[in-house]
């Protein structure tokens, strides 16, 4: 018989995040993956998938709602939701098109297994497995572990793997009396952050509301390598280096010294959580000062430690924090004009994901690119930066409300970031104020000479 359980903190956060998406943007919750099947038989691949499902509850879990409260239902058994197709494969990039097609189809939030796949063979020989997972059930970390375990099970059906707690076990632990001090610490932290200025002047949107947005992508093979080099030099992390210069650019264009940044935390700091197959990510905000007189080395370290402190409070019950925020703003006479707390609490967020294990090369001189997204995501926060490092290339995606940051400001923030990362390696004694001088000296490997004009297309439903 299926077992019903409440959602863990990570699952609840993902649910509240995704439920605010407009219906025609639900595919944004999809996480695609492609696994190489060459040299295997169909039976080997499907057998390994069945064993993965037996091993991990997340792959046998559906979500449901009762009296407005989401919960999970773990099934004893289920068939892998895999379709088989045989076609002549001659294009080595075909799997990328298949992945994009699969990822464009959304999952219903309730009642579905929330993952599916297409096993593609050519003349009877398996070629690849194109998978899509909803962020409701797993995060990127989990997908990487699933792929490692799939390969091990193909090689040896009796292979074992270290296992973390199942999501329902996490949910039970997070509702136990022993967890209460951690939740209370997180709530005190959110109160402090709100008092320090979290509820700033950035505009927010209600759930499922649309507004025209711009999205700009900077691609550079060299930038990530320099960020890693600067991180080693200053005793911080590469994500902290990049985030520090995003914050500097944002502070300048908002005309403020105090900036709220929201970081995506993996919440896998405990050893046993390293092996959880489930969705664990949660955003956590912090308010920091960007001092123009600080050296770049000081600035990077300050942002690193401010972010590191926030991670201590990044696993929390979102509904309790939202209720706390509503109480806090009402008491301060600043009641928001809508109740989408996902947008209120995380005004400007930053996420950095290492998609694979290939390092970036700080000496790579390949030209950088700037590209505008024709149809940018039209919901959610007013400002967001997502960094994805894959195959040695760093891809920085910036989304912004043009009434907050017009196109020229967005390109300037990326220019600031590129210059800051370079100077953090070559001249870390320079001041933050120096970031707005000498940007023309940036090499093409970090920032292109030609700046493209923005292209913005509004979805058929229109902008709100």
Question: What pTM, to 2 d.p., does this model score?
Answer: 0.93
pLDDT for residue 334: 77
Question: Angle at the Cα of 108 (from 107 to 110), degrees rounded to 5?
Answer: 130
Domain boundary among the residues 113, 138, 172 is at: 172
44 and 157 housed in the same domain? yes
Q: Mind listing the pLDDT tens digit for each residue in 210-247? A: 999 999 999 999 999 999 999 999 999 999 999 999 99
Secondary structure E strands in 312-412: 348-354, 369-372, 383-390, 393-400
> Are both 195 and 131 inside the same structural domain?
no
Domain of 97, CATH number, reads: 3.30.559.10
**Cα distance between residue 45 and residue 314, in whole Å:** 37
* Cα gap 279→211, rounded to integer Å: 28
| pLDDT of 463 higher than 80 | no
Both 103 and 10 in one domain: the answer is: yes
Q: 60: which residues sit within 8 A by CB, 6+ positions away?
A: 53, 74, 75, 76, 77, 78, 113
150-172: pLDDT as tens digits: 999 999 999 999 999 999 999 99
pLDDT of residue 460: 46
Number of domains comprising the chain? 2
Establish if 456 belongs to a structural domain.
no
- Residue 440 scores a pLDDT above 90: no
Q: Are residues 99 and 244 in the same domain?
A: no
Q: Are residues 141 and 220 in the same domain?
A: no
Between the CA of residue 98 and those of 49, 93, 133, 356, what are the distances in Å?
20, 9, 14, 20
The last residue of a domain, from among 129, 144, 172 = 172
Query: Which residue range is the domain that position 129 belongs to?
Result: 3-172
Q: Based on the domain organization, do 340 and 387 belong to the same domain?
A: yes
Average pLDDT, integer, range 288-311: 95
| pLDDT at 116 (0 to 100) | 97
Structural domain includes residue 381: yes
Strands 282-289 and 82-86, bridge-based pairing: unpaired
CATH number of 404's domain: 3.30.559.30
Residue at 185 is within a domain: no
Q: Are residues 85 and 52 in the same domain?
A: yes
Assign 33 to helix, strand or coil. Answer: strand
What are the backbone angles phi and psi of residue 339, rounded to the nearest 5°?
Answer: -110, 25
pLDDT at 26: 95
252 in any annotated domain: yes
Same domain, 269 and 402: yes
End residue of a domain, out of 172, 203, 224: 172
Q: Is 376 found in the same domain as 261?
A: yes
Q: Give the integer Cα–Cα distance in Å for 442 and 445.
A: 8
Distance CA 381, CA 221 (A): 28
pLDDT in tens, 342-379: 999 998 889 998 878 788 999 999 999 999 999 999 99
| Residue 180 within any structural domain of the chain | no
Tell me: do 162 and 14 sit in the same domain.
yes
Question: Is residue 113 domain-resident?
Answer: yes
Is the same domain home to 285 and 137? no
Are 154 and 235 members of one domain? no
Alpha-carbon distance values, 426 to 227, 350, 363 (Å): 12, 25, 13
**Sheet-wide strand order for 125-134:** 30-36, 125-134, 115-122, 82-86
Residue 177 lies in a domain: no
For residue 199, the model assigns a pLDDT of 54
**Measured in whole angstroms, how far is the alpha carbon of residue 457 from the centre of its chain?**
24
Q: Of the candidates 225, 272, 155, which has an alpha carbon nearest to the alpha carbon of residue 421?
A: 225
Which tens digits make up the pLDDT trace of 164-205?
Answer: 999 999 999 999 999 999 999 999 999 999 888 775 667 889
pLDDT band, residue 461 (cuts 50/70/90): very low
Which residue is it, tokens 């290492």? 354
Residue 458 in domain: no
Sort residue 298 into left (φ over 0), alpha (ψ -120 to 50) or beta: alpha
């Amino acid at each position: 018989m299926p077992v019903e359980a409440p959602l863990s903190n990570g699952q609840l956060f993902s649910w509240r995040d995704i439920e605010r998406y407009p219906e025609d943007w639900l595919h944004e919750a999809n996480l695609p993956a492609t696994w190489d099947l060459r040299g295997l038989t169909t039976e080997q691949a499907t057998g390994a998938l069945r064993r993965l499902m037996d091993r991990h509850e997340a792959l046998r879990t559906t979500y449901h709602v009762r009296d407005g409260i989401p919960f999970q239902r773990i099934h004893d058994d289920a068939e892998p939701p895999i379709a088989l197709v045989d076609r002549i494969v001659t294009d080595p990039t075909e799997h990328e098109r298949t992945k994009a097609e699969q990822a464009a189809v959304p999952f219903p939030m309730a009642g579905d297994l929330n993952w599916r796949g297409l096993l593609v063979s050519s003349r009877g020989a398996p070629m690849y497995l194109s998978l899509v997972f909803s962020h409701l059930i797993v995060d990127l970390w989990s997908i990487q572990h699933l792929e490692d375990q799939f390969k091990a099970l193909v090689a040896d059906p009796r292979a074992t793997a270290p296992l973390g707690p199942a999501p329902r076990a996490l949910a039970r632990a997070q509702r136990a009396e022993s967890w209460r001090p951690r939740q209370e610490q997180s709530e005190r932290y959110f109160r402090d952050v709100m008092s320090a200025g979290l509820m700033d002047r950035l505009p927010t949107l209600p759930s499922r509301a649309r507004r025209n947005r711009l999205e700009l992508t900077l691609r550079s093979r060299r930038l990530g390598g320099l960020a890693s080099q600067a991180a080693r030099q200053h005793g911080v992390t590469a994500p902290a280096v990049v985030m520090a210069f995003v914050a500097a650019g944002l502070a300048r264009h908002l005309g403020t010294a105090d900036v709220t940044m929201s970081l995506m935390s993996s919440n896998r700091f405990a050893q046993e959580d390293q092996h959880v197959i489930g969705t664990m990510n949660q955003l956590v905000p912090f308010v920091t000062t960007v001092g123009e007189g600080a050296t770049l080395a000081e600035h990077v370290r300050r942002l690193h430690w401010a972010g590191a402190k926030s991670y201590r409070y990044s696993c929390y019950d979102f509904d309790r924090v939202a209720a706390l925020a509503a109480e806090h703003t009402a008491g301060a006479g600043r009641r928001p004009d809508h109740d989408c707390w996902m947008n209120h609490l995380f005004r400007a967020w930053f996420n950095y994901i290492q998609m694979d294990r290939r390092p970036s090369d700080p000496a790579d001189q390949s030209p950088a690119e700037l590209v505008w997204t024709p149809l940018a995501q039209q919901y959610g926060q007013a400002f967001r930066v997502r960094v994805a490092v894959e195959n040695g290339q760093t891809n920085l995606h910036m989304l912004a409300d043009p009434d907050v940051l017009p196109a020229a400001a967005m390109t300037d923030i990326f220019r600031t970031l590129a210059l800051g990362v370079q100077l953090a390696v070559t001249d870390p004694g320079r001041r933050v104020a120096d970031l707005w001088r000498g940007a023309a000296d940036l090499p093409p490997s970090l920032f292109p000479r030609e700046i493209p004009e923005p292209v913005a297309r509004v979805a058929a439903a229109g902008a709100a």
